Structure 1
Amino acid sequence: MSKSKEISQRIKEQAVLLGFLECAIVPAGFLVEEKSRFQEWLDAGMHGEMGYMDRNKEKRLDPRLLIENAKTVIVVLQNYFPEKTQESTEAPVLSKYAYGTDYHFVMKDKLKKLLHFIQEEIQPCNGRPFVDSAPVLERAWARQAGLGWVGKNSNLISVRHGSYFFIGELILDTELPFDTPRPVADHCGTCTRCIDACPTKAIVANQVVDARKCISYQTIEIKGDLDENLKGQFENRVFGCDICQDVCPWNLKAHPHEEPAFTPNPKLLKLTHEDWHNMDRPLFNELFKNSAVKRAGFKGLKRNLQFLRPEQNE
């Protein structure tokens, strides 16, 4: 085995030991294919109130502007598909990604450990982990790294794992042995299950989601009142939405994660319809202490619950 292959293999083995599904190493550079597509999405106003998406556009397209002397992007995938889901079919539905500890904390901690491993065992360098919290186009980097293709619902889909995973990056100022990934072919074919299943018709074109119509955007990103035109269309989703993933045939390959931090409080999965709607702040704090649900906060969750009430949809 050549020295470069050995280095690459050691990094990937360490990533797997840390609990990541996949790991790929690619050179940092300008994301040429993303520029026009991203700008068209912004120009159409499909980012809604997410003004941060329109800032630092050049940095989103080129990590060398984000990290001084950036040369390498290590892309990782982290499984979050749960072994068990909510028990009551009548209860408001929480997105699977929010069952346990906020993935930002979990993945950043792992990426920092991977960085430390590289610095100690491979070569000295500076680097920074990114997990959906800075101007980095994670999905584009994962696709470029050969970890999957972008489905009609705009999610990255893996032939091996489906789409129930998070994407993270480690951007380094040193050059490592790069993979030479082959682009993964689009395996969606003529399937339109995600488009057909979306209750708010947020998937407006192939690989294009109008965030303003997306249930995840409405229940997580919106700070004020939810869109009255969408009342009665949330299909009981209270925070986030997995509908387009639940119906995707590729997610038949999804297997339960083995990340202890993503294991939900047992009480959470047992909540009934009444439990959710009667939730007080102490119970909220107990169930969602370190959860991504804190993004909406107690008031935001109660607003979402109120929006789901049948009498509000008449």
Structure 2
Amino acid sequence: MTIPTSEPLESRLRRQARALGFVACGIAPAEVAPEAVRRLKAWLAAGMHGGMAWMEGSRRGQPRDMWADARTAVVLGLPYTPSVDPFRNARRPDRGTISVYALGRDYHEVIKPRLKRLARWLLAEAGGGDARVFVDTAPLMEKPLAEAAGIGWQGKHSNLVSRCHGSWLFLATILTTLPLAPGGEPGAVGACGSCSRCIAACPTGAIVAPYVVDARRCISYLTVEHRGPVEEALRPMLGNRIHGCDDCLAVCPWNRFARAPADPALALREGSVAPALAELLALDEAGFRARFAGTPVRRTGRDRFARNCLYAAGNSGEPDLLPAVERLADDPDPAVADAARWAAQRLRTRARPAAA
């Protein structure tokens, strides 16, 4: 039963969102600025999405192309502010580096139940209506919606930046038929100005222009989404990054204002902070599943993960890794076998004594 109150539903919604751990909550009409849609289409036409064919299609653009009855977007942010240095393994070539967002529990499993709970609460408080929830698993342009909802703005690295939370926010969206009043977070709007640190920090030059990322060169795409061998010219640039990359996010000056710690449900697993490449290269399918169960890494799959670890081993300059690498030279997965042969050749060259 809904208790009568003079407080606006939107204010109560934000309070309920905070109670569920969402540190940001903005409301906007369920529509994306036409310019954002135009940029997306141009990006797709240039092939910068690489092998992510799921980004194509007529439904990716306006939310109402996906759900005609949607009137309002409630956009929420859950913090994953790192408790460890994103560059912690830069001088430890025998260790693999996993992006900070993937060091703990899979955020989908954390956010989705809370999002459903908040949507049910909203409909009950409103006394009707309909709602659907999304956590980056549908053709929804979350970042332009978040900007429209006043949570932050898209930085030159194309990710959302918040005055209060820097670059460290997971985004989630509720689309609803309810006509809620638009409104964002106090002081959330900002800008990148003349800063270009993220562009300079990208190891592969994937930020080809301000606000434009070519996924075909992005380490996050190459290590998580890309299937098959990585282009040889790019392999040395991966360094020891075996799942994702934080470089462009980590150097953002706005991160100094990130006050909220990561949600407790996303607590990192110590074994993922600086895992030894030798241990990771020894994992079979069952070992991989067991070690990374319940984390975003698990969704990448053993084969792609082994491929990434082999590239890291080849970049390490550590001849002691050669036996572990050579054992994978005949792996059933062609990309893994190719990576093993590439890494072995680099390590043998490193181990070869200099001519007298």
TM-score normalised by length of structure 1: 0.91
CA 294–10 in structure 1, closer or farther in 2 if over 3 Å, else same: same
Partner Cα distance (2:103, 2:172) in 1: 19
- Greater relative contact order (CA < 8 Å, ≥ 6 in sequence): 1
Alignment-derived partner of residue 338 in structure 2: none
CA contact (8 A) 1:151 1:186 kept: no
Change (3 A) 1:112 1:250: same
Matched, 1:228 2:232: yes
The answer to whether structure 1 residue 187 and structure 2 residue 195 are counterparts is no
> Residue 52 of structure 2 is aligned with which of 45, 50, 60?
50
Of the three residues 244, 251, 258, the one matched with 2:248 is 244
Partner of 2:107: 103
1:143 and 1:150 in contact (8 A); partners too: yes
1:168 is aligned, of 144, 162, 172, to 172
Gap change, CA 1:184 and 1:44, over 3 Å in 2:
farther
The 3-state SS of whatever aligns with 1:55 is coil
CA contact (8 A) 1:150 1:186 kept: no
Q: What TM-score, normalized by structure 2, do the two folds share?
A: 0.81
Structure 1, 12-21 or 28-37: larger mean CA deviation: 28-37
Identity %: 37
**Residue 261 in structure 1 maps to residue 284 in structure 2:** no
Check whether the contact 1:265–1:287 (CA below 8 A) recurs between aligned residues. Answer: no
Partner of 2:331: none
Counterpart in the other structure of 1:212: 216
User: How far apart are residue 239 of structure 1 and its match?
Assistant: 0.5
Aligned positions of 1:103-142 closer than 5 A: 103-142=107-146
Q: Match of 2:24? A: 22
Asked whether the 8 Å contact 1:7–1:177 carries over to 2, the reply is no
CA deviation map 1:54-105 (0-9, x unaligned): 113xx33221221241111000011112324687652111011111221122
Q: Deviations over 1:206-264 (max 9, x none)?
A: 10000000000100111211121202101311011001011111112234634233113
Query: How many pairs were matched up?
Result: 310
Alpha-carbon distance in 2 for matches of 1:204, 1:78: 29
For the pair 1:307 / 2:311, whether they are aligned, the reply is yes
The reply to whether residue 157 of structure 1 matches residue 161 of structure 2 is yes
- 2:15 maps to a residue whose letter is E
Question: CA offset at residue 52 of structure 1?
Answer: 1.2
Note closer, same or farther for the CA distance 1:185–1:14 as it changes in structure 2 (3 Å cut).
closer
Measured in 1, the distance between the counterparts of 2:135 and 2:146 equals 12
Match of 2:73 in 1: 73
In the TM superposition, what is the alpha-carbon distance from 1:299 to its structure 2 partner?
1.3
Structure 1: which 5+ runs fail to align? none
Q: CA deviation at 1:198?
A: 0.8
C-alpha deviation, 1:184, in angstroms: 6.3
Paired residues for 1:284-303 under 5 Å: 284-303=288-307
